A and B are shown apart, each in its own frame.
Chain A
Amino acid sequence: MDFLRDPYTFVANRFQEFLTGLGLAPEWVLFISFLTGAFILATSAMLLVTMLIWIERKIVARVQDRFGPNRVGPWGIFQSFADLIKIFTKEMITPTGSDWLPYNLAPVLAVSAVLTVWAVLPFTVTFYGVNLSVGVLFVIALGAVGEMGIILAGWGSNNKYALLAAFRAIAQLISYGVPLAITMLIPVMFSGSMALNDIVLAQDVWYIFLAPLVALIFFVTNLAEIGRAPFDLVEAESELVSGFNVEYSGLKFGMFYVAEFLHALTVSLIFATLFLGGWRGPGAVEYPVLGIVYYTLKTSLVYFLIILLRASLPRFRIDQMMAINWKLLIPLSLSLLMLTALVYRLVFTQPHIVRVLVLLAVNGIVFGVLNLILARVEKRNSRRPLVAEPRPVARAESISSNTPVE
Chain B
Amino acid sequence: MTPLQIVFLLVAAITLFSAVMVVSIRGMMHAALFLVLTLMGVAFMFATLGSRFFAIIQILVYIGSIAILIIFAVMLTRNIMDAEVASLNRGWWFFAPLALLIFASIVLVLSSWSAFATLRDLSSTSGENILEFGKALTDPNGFVIPFEVASVLLVAAMVGAVYIAMERRGGRG
Interface residues of A (CB under 8 A from B): 25, 27-28, 31, 99, 101-102, 132-134, 137-138, 140-145, 147-148, 151-152, 155, 163, 167, 170, 174, 177, 194
Docked Cα-Cα span, A147 to B29, in Å, equals: 16
Interface residues of B (CB under 8 A from A): 2-4, 29-30, 33, 36, 52-53, 56-57, 59-60, 63-65, 67-68, 71-72, 75, 127, 130
Docked Cα-Cα span, A133 to B47, in Å, equals: 12
Known: A31-B3, A141-B59. 10 other contacts (CB 8 A): A27-B2, A27-B4, A137-B60, A140-B60, A141-B56, A141-B63, A142-B59, A147-B68, A155-B29, A170-B68
For B62, the closest partner residue in chain A by CB is A144
Q: CB within 8 A of A137: which of B33, B57, B65, B75?
A: B57
Q: Which residues of B contact A133 (CB under 8 A)?
A: 52-53, 127, 130
Measured between C-beta atoms, what is the minimum distance from A168 to chain B in Å? 12
CB <8 Å contact, A25 and B2: yes
For B27, the closest partner residue in chain A by CB is A99
Q: Which residues of B contact A132 (CB under 8 A)?
A: 52
Q: CB within 8 A of B56: which of A25, A101, A137, A152?
A: A137
Docked Cα-Cα span, A151 to B35, in Å, equals: 14
For B71, the closest partner residue in chain A by CB is A151
Q: Which residues of A contact B60 (CB under 8 A)?
A: 137, 140-141, 144
CB <8 Å contact, A134 and B36: no
Q: Which residues of A contact B59 (CB under 8 A)?
A: 141-142, 144-145
Measured between C-beta atoms, what is the minimum distance from A125 to chain B in Å? 21
Main secondary structure of the interface of B (DSSP, over half): helix
Q: Which residues of B contact A143 (CB under 8 A)?
A: 64
Q: CB within 8 A of B64: which of A99, A138, A144?
A: A144
CB <8 Å contact, B68 and A148: yes
CB <8 Å contact, A147 and B57: no
Docked Cα-Cα span, A378 to B67, in Å, equals: 39
Docked Cα-Cα span, A170 to B60, in Å, equals: 15
Q: CB within 8 A of B67: which of A25, A101, A137, A148?
A: A148
Q: Which A-B residue pairs are the 6 nearest by beta carbons?
A: A144-B64, A31-B3, A141-B60, A141-B59, A137-B56, A27-B2
Q: A144-B64, A155-B75, A170-B68 are in contact. Are A134 and B3 (CB under 8 A)?
A: no
Docked Cα-Cα span, A137 to B60, in Å, equals: 8
Measured between C-beta atoms, what is the minimum distance from A312 to chain B in Å? 32
Q: Which residues of A contact B30 (CB under 8 A)?
A: 99
Measured between C-beta atoms, what is the minimum distance from B131 to chain A in Å? 9
CB <8 Å contact, A138 and B56: yes
Q: Which residues of B contact A148 (CB under 8 A)?
A: 36, 63, 67-68
Q: Which residues of A contact B65 (CB under 8 A)?
A: 144, 174
For B6, the closest partner residue in chain A by CB is A31
CB <8 Å contact, B3 and A28: yes
CB <8 Å contact, A144 and B68: yes
Docked Cα-Cα span, A143 to B64, in Å, equals: 8
CB <8 Å contact, A144 and B63: yes
Q: Which residues of A contact B52 (CB under 8 A)?
A: 132-134
CB <8 Å contact, A134 and B64: no
Q: Which residues of A contact B36 (CB under 8 A)?
A: 148
Q: Which residues of B contact A102 (CB under 8 A)?
A: 33
Docked Cα-Cα span, A75 to B67, in Å, equals: 47
CB <8 Å contact, B75 and A147: no
Q: CB within 8 A of A134: which of B33, B53, B72?
A: B53
CB <8 Å contact, A145 and B68: no
Measured between C-beta atoms, what is the minimum distance from A330 to chain B in Å? 14
For B128, the closest partner residue in chain A by CB is A133
Q: Which residues of A contact B53 (CB under 8 A)?
A: 133-134, 137
Docked Cα-Cα span, A25 to B141, in Å, equals: 46
Docked Cα-Cα span, A163 to B53, in Å, equals: 33
Q: CB within 8 A of A151: which of B4, B56, B68, B127?
A: B68
Measured between C-beta atoms, what is the minimum distance from B153 to chain A in Å? 20
Measured between C-beta atoms, what is the minimum distance from A178 to chain B in Å? 11
